[in-house]
Amino acid sequence: MTFSFDEDLQLALTLADAADVQSIARYRASDLRVETKPDLTPVTEADQAVEKLIRDALATQRPDDLIVGEEFGGDAALTPVRRWIVDPIDGTKNYVRGVPVWATLISLVDAEGPAVGVVSAPALGRRWWAVRGGAAYTRDVDRSTREIHVSAVSNIGDASFSYSDAVGWDRHGDAGPRALNTLIADAWRTRGYGDFLSHMLVAEGAVDIAAEPQLAPWDVAALVPIVEAAGGRMTGYDGRSCLESGSGLTTNGHLHAYALDLFR
């Protein structure tokens, strides 16, 4: 059976509703079970439960599509086969500590790249979504919906830059730390909003550049359609697809060439 991207978006939004209920139910729970994965990052029972919920629903609603998730694996390489890429809780460390900056990320990817993206952050009362080629939207804390657009800032001296921290920038050689230091020194304002939120704030026009040196496909797949539909650009530090490069550079488009040049 063939589905339109609009139908896939409606399914992703429904899955996000269910995921929000599941994740919020265990947020700040005193008996939350937390384990350490082989890469030394935390995983909670909520991460696993949310991904299982989404996988089970997709297996029924989209049986011909592949599924890739942070907790239960799958191949995220770009192929002609449609695949759903899921991060059940992006920002698990925040989730564990009671910091409300975490979200469920749901994306549909085809041979051309991410086509549908939903980012749902229930502890913030926020959600963002888009379909490739369409407009980008957000739902605010008052549950009103609005279309979003990136900013028109074209000078780094007027730009707001957001990132998580200084960890991992040296993976990109000397250019990584040098780029970070330049962005901090030259930008009008620097803040560490981190994770998905930095990139969604670029899509909204509240931030102009966001960068993360280490990202897996499930960290970025849902972000790309939203950023691009809002008029921005999201690539790796090397200019390739961020699904392949393992890093994420998001800008309002006007500042993208400037930012990429810092890593050369």
pLDDT tens, residue by residue, 200-258:
999 999 999 999 999 999 999 999 999 999 999 999 999 999 999 999 999 999 999 99
pLDDT score recorded for residue 22: 93
DSSP output for 129-180: EEETTS-EEEE-TTS-EEEE-------GGG-EEE-S-STTGGGGTTHHHHHH
Q: Which residue has the higher pLDDT, 106 or 3?
A: 106
Tell me: pLDDT of 40 over 60: no
pLDDT score recorded for residue 77: 57
Q: Which residue has the higher pLDDT, 137 or 168?
A: 137
Whole-angstrom distance, CA of residue 71 vs CA of residue 214: 17
Give the torsion sign (CA, 102, 17, 127, 125). negative
Q: What CATH number should be reported for the domain whose range is 5-148? A: 3.30.540.10
Neighbours of 140 (CB within 10 A): 11
Tell me: pLDDT of 36 over 60: yes
Backbone angles phi, psi at 106, to 5 degrees: -130, 125
**Which residues have CB under 8 Å from 133's CB, separation 6+?**
5, 229
In angstroms and rounded to an integer, the radius of gyration of the C-alpha atoms of the chain is 17
| Percent of the residues in the chain that have a pLDDT greater than 90, as a whole number | 74
| DSSP 3-state percent helix, strand, coil across the chain (nearest 5) | 35, 25, 40
Q: What is the dihedral of CA 52, 246, 84, 97, to 10 degrees?
A: 30
pLDDT score recorded for residue 73: 66
The segment(s) of the chain belonging to CATH 3.40.190.80 are 156-261
pLDDT score recorded for residue 28: 84
Confidence category of residue 46, pLDDT binned at 50, 70, 90: confident
pLDDT score recorded for residue 35: 73
- Strands (E) in the chain, as ranges, are 34-36, 42-44, 66-69, 83-90, 103-110, 113-121, 126-131, 136-139, 145-148, 160-162, 189-191, 209-212, 233-235, 248-251
pLDDT score recorded for residue 31: 77
Tell me: pLDDT of 76 over 70: no
What do you get for the CA distance between the two ends of the chain, in Å? 45
Whole-angstrom distance, CA of residue 203 vs CA of residue 213: 19
Backbone angles phi, psi at 119, to 5 degrees: -125, 115
Tell me: pLDDT of 75 over 60: no
pLDDT tens, residue by residue, 160-191:
999 988 888 988 888 899 999 999 999 999 99
Token pair of 159, please?
A: 């730009």
Of the ranges 4-8, 37-41, 107-111, 136-140, which one carries the lowest mean pLDDT score?
37-41
Give the mean pLDDT of the chain: 92
Strand, helix or coil for residue 230: coil
Decide if domain 156-261 falls under CATH 3.50.50.60.
no
pLDDT score recorded for residue 166: 85
The length of the chain, given as a count of residues: 264
The segment(s) of the chain belonging to CATH 3.30.540.10 are 5-148
